[in-house]
């Protein structure tokens, strides 16, 4: 049975040192074009809101970036996890924060969907500050190695024979893993039973325990696939994942579905221009650093950098695409069903 949104989202604060050894080599980077008004910024620790639970792929990616950015800024960054409602609890907190540069965070691209579904009371095209698009994600469908599904064709056949009986775990209603699977189900002409979790980590555990048939997630499954504990049935990118070249994409299997859901970093609307510019330069350097690239490669997260203004244009484009997707998948009805 599909779960509703969590009432008490997990909150956890973790201090990342401004002189982290892993990023020490990046600390001396010179940031060009930073105005004098930002010369003293930051004078105290910065809070970074991550809208996902600790340990997931997005969380690991954001922590790696914050570690490098902290070293560049010579100031601590406090990562605060505010999970729940498919990333919208953390996003709401970010949007409501004081726009002084001391509260920043990850902005899930799903803001373009949830703002239209009424779960986020703001217009993401105009009411947030965008600092950088960072990296994409490698999504896939995985099952335990003892699963009766040896291929995706097996799962589709079972779902056709027993509509609504084959279950899959995802990271939250209306999020990328949920919507991606529903796009696939629509393309395949089947009906799955979607089981919602607060994040990919808890979804993974229940699939490994055999409580749910399949996992739809970004690459939390990767180490388990490599260890022989899980089998990867398909990935969702435009191209095959570099670490899993033997696994076909949904497109290769005949389903015209591509989901990459790139991560991005932003802040509340109204940030001082000089501070915004400084943060854009900092995260440009952080994304380009070897430290982040190594983590991104380990997480199967292809670097997809865009500077703040270009990222904002990208969000507007995705917003228009989501308008059509909401209608085609009847997402309002899905959310009402909970």
3-state SS, one letter per residue, for 136-196: CCCCEEEEECCCCCCCHHHHHHHHHHCCCCCEEEECCCCCHHHHHHHHHHHHHCCCCEEEE
Residue 20 is predicted with a pLDDT of: 45
- Collapsed DSSP state (helix, strand, coil) of residue 124: coil
Assign residue 158 the CATH number of its domain.
Answer: 3.40.190.10
Last residue of a domain, one of 203, 227, 259: 259
pLDDT range class, residue 337, cuts 50, 70, 90: confident
Range of the domain at 275: 11-136+261-327
Residues 84 and 159 in one domain: no
Residues 254 and 265 in one domain: no
Last residue of a domain, one of 204, 227, 259: 259
CA distance 338 to 328: 18
Q: What is the pLDDT of residues 150-205, one digit of tens each?
A: 999 999 999 999 999 999 999 888 888 999 999 999 999 999 999 998 778 899 99
Q: What is the pLDDT of residues 65-120, one digit of tens each?
A: 999 999 999 999 999 999 988 889 999 999 999 999 999 999 999 999 999 998 89
- Provide the number of structural domains found in the chain: 2
Closest by CA to 233, choosing from 201, 196, 192, is 192
Assign residue 52 the CATH number of its domain.
Answer: 3.40.190.150
Residue 38 is predicted with a pLDDT of: 56
Last residue of a domain, one of 259, 277, 292: 259
Residues 249 and 190 in one domain: yes
Bigger pLDDT: 149 or 334?
Answer: 149
Of all residues in the chain, what percent carry a pLDDT higher than 70? 88
Question: Rg for the chain (alpha carbons), in Å?
Answer: 20
Whether residue 303 is contained in a domain is answered as yes
pLDDT range class, residue 58, cuts 50, 70, 90: confident
pLDDT range class, residue 296, cuts 50, 70, 90: very high
| 50 contacts: CB under 8 Å, gap ≥ 6 | 58, 59, 62, 63, 79, 80, 81, 82, 90, 105, 106
Residues 75 and 183 in one domain: no
Q: What is the pLDDT of residues 7-21, one digit of tens each?
A: 344 444 444 444 344
| 247 contacts: CB under 8 Å, gap ≥ 6 | 140, 232, 233, 234, 235, 240, 241
- List C-alpha distances in Å: 324 to 57, 125, 244, 327: 28, 17, 32, 5
Whether residue 332 is contained in a domain is answered as no
User: Would you say how long the chain is, in residues?
Assistant: 338
Mean pLDDT of 267-275: 97
Residues 122 and 156 in one domain: no
Q: Is the pLDDT at 4 greater than 50, yes or no? A: no
**Computed from CA positions of residues 65, 200, 319, 269, in that sequence, does the dihedral angle turn out positive or negative?**
negative
């Amino acid at each position: 049975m599909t779960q509703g949104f969590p009432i008490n989202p997990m909150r956890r604060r973790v201090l990342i040192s401004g002189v982290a050894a892993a990023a020490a080599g990046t600390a001396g980077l010179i940031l060009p074009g930073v105005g004098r008004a930002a010369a003293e910024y930051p004078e105290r620790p910065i809070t970074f809101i991550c809208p996902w639970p600790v340990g997931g792929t997005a969380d690991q990616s954001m922590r790696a970036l914050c570690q490098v950015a902290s070293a560049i800024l010579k100031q601590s960054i406090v990562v605060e996890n505010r999970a729940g409602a498919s990333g919208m609890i953390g996003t709401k907190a970010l949007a409501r924060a004081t726009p002084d540069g001391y509260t920043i965070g990850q902005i899930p691209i799903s803001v373009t969907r949830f703002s239209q579904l009424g779960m986020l009371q703001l217009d993401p095209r105009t009411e947030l500050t965008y600092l950088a698009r960072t990296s994409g994600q490698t999504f896939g469908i995985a099952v335990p190695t003892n699963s009766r599904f040896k291929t995706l064709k097996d799962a589709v056949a079972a779902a056709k024979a027993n509509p609504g009986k084959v279950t899959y775990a995802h990271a939250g209603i209306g999020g990328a893993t949920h919507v991606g699977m529903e796009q696939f189900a629509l393309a395949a002409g089947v009906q799955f039973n979607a089981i919602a979790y607060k994040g990919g980590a808890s979804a993974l555990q229940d699939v490994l325990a055999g409580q749910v048939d399949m996992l739809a997630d970004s690459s939390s499954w990767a180490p388990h696939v490599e260890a022989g504990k899980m089998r990867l049935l398909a990935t969702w990118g435009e191209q095959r994942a570099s670490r899993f070249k033997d696994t076909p994409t949904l497109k290769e299997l005949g389903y015209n579905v591509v989901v990459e859901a790139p991560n991005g970093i932003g802040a509340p609307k109204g940030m001082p221009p000089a501070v915004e510019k400084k943060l854009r330069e900092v995260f440009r350097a952080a994304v380009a650093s070897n430290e982040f690239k190594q983590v991104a490669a380990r997480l199967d997260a292809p670097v997809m950098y865009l500077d703040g203004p270009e990222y904002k244009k990208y969000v507007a484009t995705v917003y228009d695409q989501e308008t059509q997707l909401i209608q085609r998948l009847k997402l309002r009805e899905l959310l009402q069903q909970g």
